[in-house]
Chain A
């Protein structure tokens, strides 16, 4: 069965620090990849997505993610975090050509940014 691993449960950073959140998936075929963000008390919002092409994708609010097929990874990065980036971040994977109902979420990484 496919699965998504987010190894960092809780990351605490100071403002202006650089961020990298890990995401690894287990699936042998082509995948579509997503990062969603959930700000405190709010709904999940799409941060960025990768379907094909350039493996470095840019999302909203200065976030980017790099798809490394050989490592089955899709890590999220931001060069300089802000206090407003405090949120829960979810990596999600769906097999290419599969149904959105098969979207599999990781367990999330909580990011706390200290002002």
Chain B
């Protein structure tokens, strides 16, 4: 059973479109995250939700809007896609926000903007 699953795995679309990436975890974790991994493999946190509430919102354009319908899901919607949005987006979860809780990652969604 996949612990953290993201869909789609690949997303190829044109500039200006709106797209969503879905994430679900079946680990019973309270906290979920979205990361962006750029072409140089650098991982940077975008958002963090704890029990459906936003707790971390890094400097991310407001074209990116996370939504957490319940604590097992954290979706990422992106409006007006730009070339610079091309990256791999990883969803992750942890038991809670505690510093000793390792994160479990999804397989990533490779977003390519044409």
Contact = CB atoms under 8 A, between A and B. Distances in A.
A102 B98 CA distance: 10
Contact of A32 (B40, B44, B100, B108): B100
B42 A105 contact: yes
Given A43-B106, A105-B44, A108-B42, 20 more contacts: A32-B99, A36-B105, A44-B103, A46-B102, A46-B104, A49-B100, A90-B43, A95-B99, A97-B99, A98-B99, A99-B97, A100-B31, A100-B48, A100-B94, A100-B96, A100-B99, A103-B45, A103-B103, A107-B40, A108-B41
B48 A101 contact: yes
A94 B102 CA distance: 11
Interface string B21-46: 00000000001010000001111110
B97 A100 contact: yes
Interface string B79-106: 0000000000010101011111111111
Contacts of B55: 99, 101
A88 interface: yes
Contacts of B103: 44, 46, 100, 103
A110 to B, nearest CB: 8
A96 interface: yes
B100 A101 contact: no
Nearest to B91: A43
Interface of A: 32, 34, 36, 38, 42-46, 49, 51, 88, 90, 94-103, 105, 107-108, 110
Q: Which of B33, B56, B99 has the most CB of A within 10 A?
A: B99
Contacts of B56: 99, 101-102
Nearest to A42: B107
A4 to B, nearest CB: 11
A97 B107 CA distance: 28
Contacts of B92: 44
A43 B108 contact: yes
A55 B111 CA distance: 39
A51 B100 contact: yes
Contact of A99 (B99, B105, B107): B99
Nearest to A96: B99
